[in-house]
Amino acid sequence: MSSPGYRLVAAARELTLSDRFFRRFRRVGLRGVLADLNCTGAHADVPGEAAIAGMTWQDDDRDTERWYPQGITTSADAYGADPSGGMFEGHDVVIASWYAHGWRGWLQLGSRISVIDWSDNDPPRYRHVLLTAPKRFGFFHRLRPVRVHAGGIVWYGDHLFVAGSSSGVRVFRLDDIVRVRNRLRTKGYRYVLPQYSFYAAEHDDDGDRMTYSFMSLDRAGDEDHLVAGEYGRKGGSHRLIRYAIDRDTQLLRSDDRGWAVATELHDRQIARMQGAVVFEGTWAITSSNGEGNAGDLWVGTPGSYTRHAGVLPTGPEDITYLPQRRWLWSLTEWPGRRWVYAIDADRWRPASHDPS
């Protein structure tokens, strides 16, 4: 572990949403979306030795070359490891993020999330919500799409953190989801989630810019942490980084300047990392090997991983942990081969890391 000279700097307060904006739109929050789900997926046998349960999207989402799934988080991230908890108002909720390739006509589509009501017995139902960045022009507000890769997301309390690559981290509040009447203004989406704020990525002069490619949550220990990392091919830096979270504000722990300073940095990790999560002191990392090739699962600690080659389906992305079931959750991105799936965490944990 090297000494981190990296920080995420909170945006100025005037960049957050105004009360006037919400008077112009109907704020319904997450419960409003769950009451109005309009897509149905299907339980699926997911290829790969590590996958034990999963789903696929309905046909248009499974096959589209416009949108690509990337990040994943669950209501267990939001509400913790209590055996009777980890749910949102009685629902096991999974949230996945997508980014859009290219343009539709003259419109750049940006990024979105899918709110999934997961059930072991019934087909999972879901709805897409467009991520937007409201801009004010005098007395008017425009809803511009958030154009980030959204390679990782973390749901913590009411807040949703979205990885913004080299720019930093975007922050949304799920209570701020609004229902719009005129869907022409929102690229056809009935529900949109306006950006609340963001953290700009900064570093000391002697460091290299950090890319926030993916993210997860670590609730172990006395303090919760946002875990992030960067994708890169061979020869890249492949860093993993951690930031403390303030449990009271549900935001990153910051000093008087608004600086959230990294508490831990690990350089030169695994090439082609797509996601990383810490569960009970053990790290689990997904890595990809190109379209059509099975992905790898790496388990251990920084500098001491065991590689389980080819046990994941092709195109693995972000990863998170569901402590109530002791499952890892991940997802894949390639058209026609898109799954959201669970992994038995204990099966792949090295014996030396077994908490029993």
**Which pLDDT score, from 0 to 100, does residue 142 have?**
72
From 317, 316, 341, 323, select the one nearest 118 (Cα to Cα). Answer: 341
Task: Give 349's contacts (C-beta < 8 A, 6+ positions apart).
Answer: 282, 299
Residue 320 · residue 74 · CB < 8 Å: yes
CA distance 221 to 224: 7
**Which pLDDT score, from 0 to 100, does residue 106 have?**
41
| Per-residue pLDDT tens listing for the chain (356 residues) | 545 689 999 986 544 555 566 667 789 999 999 999 999 999 999 999 999 999 999 999 999 999 999 999 999 999 887 766 789 999 999 999 999 986 554 456 799 999 999 999 999 999 999 999 877 666 666 778 899 999 999 999 999 999 999 999 999 999 999 998 766 566 779 999 999 999 999 988 777 889 999 999 999 888 999 999 999 877 777 899 999 999 999 999 999 999 999 999 998 899 999 999 999 899 999 999 999 999 999 999 998 999 999 999 999 999 999 999 999 999 999 999 999 999 999 999 887 655 44
**Which pLDDT score, from 0 to 100, does residue 108 have?**
62
CA distance 231 to 309: 18
DSSP secondary structure, 237-283, as one string = ---EEEEEEETTTTEE---TTSEEE-SEEE-S--TTEEEEEEETTEE
**Which pLDDT score, from 0 to 100, does residue 354 have?**
53
Q: 323: left (phi > 0), else alpha (psi -120 to 50), else beta?
A: alpha
For 212-267, how does the pLDDT look when each residue is reduced to its tens digit (9 = 90+)? 999 999 998 889 999 999 998 777 778 999 999 999 999 999 999 999 999 999 98
Provide the 3-class DSSP secondary structure of residue 143: strand
How many Cβ atoms from other residues are within 10 Å of residue 17's Cβ? 17
Provide the 3-class DSSP secondary structure of residue 111: strand
**Which pLDDT score, from 0 to 100, does residue 25 have?**
76
CA distance 69 to 214: 12
Residues in the chain: 356
**Which pLDDT score, from 0 to 100, does residue 207 have?**
74
CA distance 295 to 316: 6
**Which pLDDT score, from 0 to 100, does residue 206 have?**
75
How many Cβ atoms from other residues are within 10 Å of residue 292's Cβ? 9
CA distance 14 to 12: 6
**Which pLDDT score, from 0 to 100, does residue 86 have?**
86
Could you tell me the two tokens for 20? 């006037």
